[in-house]
Amino acid sequence: MLFLASNGYRCIAHDRRGHGRSSQPWNGNEMDTYADDLSELIEKLDLKDAVLIGFSAGGGEVARYIGRHSTQRVAKAALISAVPPLMLKTAANPAGLPIEKFDGIRLGSLADRSQFYKDLASGPFFGANRPGARVSQGMIDSFWLQGMQAGARNAFDCIKAFSETDFTADLKKFDVPTLIIHGDDDQIVPIGAAALRSAKLVKNATLKIYPGAPHGLAYTHQDQLNADLLAFLKT
């Protein structure tokens, strides 16, 4: 955001309900409400010709927002390491992850979520478990801090929201220029069940694959991502 704002763009970040500086309500921790929260913010600020950029579960929020509220106020969209169309492995989505993977995340969140976030950040999220990876302690600490700022209930419910929500119908409603960026070594959101399928569902989408990039490419491939987003905004 600092990079794009420094290049003359108004950048607005909203904290998902239950995360960051948002309140931590017990209910509404699912994609329909996430999308409606985003819509309320956009309406309140009277944003027009907005470019919606969503990372990971945030990409699901962008997709569901467009599915529920159209692109009337949206000029472009970008999905970064995003979860659509569906993370869960099903008969119709064999490239997805089995439910046991997400049950394991739930168990880790309940047993010791602080340590779980540290293990996730120092392992697959940034690709730190790959030979030659350069993942700083600061990156790990930043991930942990962001995770711990979320309410326990909110973060727990979000697991189901990002893993089991089917965004296929939402993606088919995209009618604005859309940039899809994904790393081909994403161990969190497999590219085969995500970006490769999304690029086929979104009309005239532009797909950029970062070779060897992990899920957290916004940190590990920051310069490349910044350049691609800036170029996309300028076109």
Q: How far apart are CA 34 and CA 10, in angstroms?
A: 22
Q: Which of 144, 157, 153 is nearest to 118 (CA)?
A: 144
Other C-beta atoms within 10 Å of 165: how many? 23
In the residue annotation, 186 being an active-site residue is answered as yes
Catalytic residue among 56, 81, 109, 163: 56
Catalytic residue among 14, 69, 109, 186: 186
In contact, 156 and 109? CB cutoff 8 Å: yes
| Half-sphere exposure (Cβ direction) of 152: Cα atoms closer than 13 Å | 9
Tell me the helices (H) and strands (E) count for the chain, helix number first: 10, 4
Catalytic residue among 14, 19, 182, 215: 215
In the residue annotation, 56 being an active-site residue is answered as yes
In the residue annotation, 14 being an active-site residue is answered as no
Q: How far apart are CA 46 and CA 33, in angstroms?
A: 19
Tokens 């893993």 -> residue: 163
Active site residues per annotation: 56, 186, 215
